[in-house]
Amino acid sequence: MNTIRVVVVALGLIAGIGIVRGQSATDPIKIGFMVPLSGANAQNGRDILNGFVMLLEEAGYQAGGRRIQLIVEDDEGIPAVGLTKARKLVERDQVHMMGGPLLASSAYAIAPYIDSQQIPMVYPVASGDDLTQRRRSKWIVRTGYTSSQPNHPFGEYAYQTMKMRRIATIALDYAFGWESVGGFERTFEEQGGQITKKLWVPLSVHDFGPYLAQLSRDLDGVYALFLGRTALQFMRQYQEYGLKGRVQLIGMGTTTDEHVLPAMGDEATGVVTALHYSGALDTPANRKFAAAYRARFKRVPSYYSESMYTGGKWLLAAIEALNGKVEDRGVLLDAIRKATPSDLPRGPVTIDEYGNPIENIYVRRVDRVNGELQNTVIATLPAVSQFWKYNPAEYLKQPLYAR
């Protein structure tokens, strides 16, 4: 954290018009950033922060002719704490713009406050569908994805390309799981496939045995959604119960994301998942990013690492476009929404009118290459919208994917 310089300057706000006073062009541009740096999701939060730090280091902590100062807060993955930290960043630290958080629960909790204070904010990871759909915020631009976004095309891919017809799902029992499974189920069944069973697993699970025992051996596949400790444990027990090699395992990209993949063994090989990034994506931009990240942090970049490296590019591009004149928040928000950063590690991205990315989704297979596990990209599904092939107005009339 020695690369992060935290300075608190007392500034005044003119309420209602979103312009910061008492600031000169020589003062720093302050970016508030909040992710969990303690608790169960600390490593994920650290990966997000690392990506942002690397981007700012590459920029020399400068943009638009002004110095950038990053003010970091640990929201602990707790919505109430996140709201308190957001208030601190806005009201005490007087930040110009913000980034974060990790969890959708925290993202939903702070969104009304961000709107009320008219602070431009980038959401790099929080994937709750309604954050850019039925409950979308004017002042928040999501640069990550929605939970269902990778799963709509993946449901079709599983049916059309993988020739699966009967699948069971097993996922963590919270909104991320519900929305991811819901997106996959919708398109898979529209193609003619059948979801034979849906199993929901508590976040505190310590033994997958009772759930794995309910999976039939005559299925075409099992769709799994886990992350962190649960992904490691599930993968090991899936093999121990004799399912590996008999029932193809597929799932949400977090299940084999690079935040856990280095700790897995051969139990993970052959698993097919979908996400908007892979550390093994073979493009010039990602090869450069992955090599630099590994050299800087001694880790393979996860999608969390890439998230704010890419998300931060919207902030820097907006600052550059305004020549550092970021005090008018409405103008700053417009510049963020209109930004078109290039050479992104994940590939081309545009922001739709709802504030959500349109981007490639990658189908990845876990392979062992040069002694390391990697998510080899086996298919690219280009320019995927949060609404997939559906009419947005009609889509939004439907209820949110739920348990």
pLDDT tens-digit map of 262-298: 999 999 999 999 999 999 999 999 999 999 999 999 9
Domain membership of residue 57 (yes or no) is: yes
Q: What is the pLDDT of residue 25?
A: 60
Verify that 257 and 368 share a domain, yes or no. yes
Residue 22 pLDDT more than 80?
A: no
Are 365 and 346 in the same domain? no
Residue 7 domain-assigned (yes or no): no
Residues 161 and 77 in one domain: no
- Whole-number Å distance between alpha carbons of 313 and 273: 27
The reply to whether 166 and 178 lie within a common domain is: yes
Structurally, how many domains does the chain consist of? 2
Considering the domain architecture, whether residues 222 and 289 belong to the same structural domain is answered as no
pLDDT of residue 9 exceeding 60, the answer is: no
My answer on whether 223 and 363 are in the same domain is yes
Residue 1 counted as domain residue: no
Residue at 24 is within a domain: yes
Identify the burial level of 349 via C-beta atoms within 10 angstroms of its C-beta, where 0-12 means exposed, 13-18 middle and 19 or more buried.
buried
Whether 403 is covered by a domain: the verdict is no
CA–CA dist 193, 141 (Å, integer) = 35
Q: Is the pLDDT assigned to residue 346 strictly greater than 50?
A: yes
State whether 271 and 367 are in the same domain. yes
Using pLDDT thresholds of 50, 70 and 90, give the confidence band for residue 24: low
The per-residue pLDDT for range 301-327, each reduced to its tens digit, is 999 999 999 999 999 999 999 999 999
- Does 96 map to a domain? yes
Cα–Cα distance, 153 to 58 (Å, whole number): 35
Lowest mean pLDDT among 8-12, 68-72, 102-106, 355-359: 8-12
Q: Does 332 share its domain with 246?
A: no
Of 25-34, 44-53, 259-268, give the lowest mean pLDDT range.
Answer: 25-34
Stronger pLDDT, 197 or 4, i.e. the higher one: 197
Counting Cα atoms < 13 Å in the Cβ hemisphere of 89 gives 33
The whole-number pLDDT of residue 393 equals: 96
**Domain encompassing residue 48:** 12-145+282-355
Specify the DSSP class assigned to residue 276: S
Give pLDDT, residue 2: 41
pLDDT of 158 strictly over 50: yes
Whether 392 is covered by a domain: the verdict is yes
**SS3 (DSSP) at 244:** coil
- Residue with token string 């320019």: 383
Which tokens in the block code for residue 365? Answer: 């297979």
DSSP secondary structure letters along 165-190: -EEEEEEESSHHHHHHHHHHHHHHHH
CATH number of the domain enclosing 337: 3.40.50.2300
> Do 50 and 297 contact (CB within 8 A), yes or no?
yes
Distance, CA of 375 to CA of 256 (rounded, Å): 8
- Band of residue 40 on the pLDDT scale cut at 50, 70, 90: confident
Within this chain, do residues 231 and 377 fall inside the same structural domain, yes or no? yes
Please indicate, yes or no, whether residues 120 and 176 belong to a single structural domain of this protein.
no
User: Is the same domain home to 64 and 165?
Assistant: no
Average pLDDT over residues 69-87: 97
In a domain, 181, yes or no: yes
Considering the domain architecture, whether residues 213 and 86 belong to the same structural domain is answered as no
CB 121, CB 111: distance < 8 Å: no
Quote the CA–CA distance of 151 and 158 in Å, as a whole number. 10
Query: Are the beta carbons of 95 and 71 closer than 8 angstroms?
Result: yes
Mean pLDDT over residues 338-361, rounded? 96
Q: How confident is the model at residue 19 (pLDDT cuts 50, 70, 90)?
A: very low
* Contact present, 304 and 259 (Cβ < 8 Å): yes
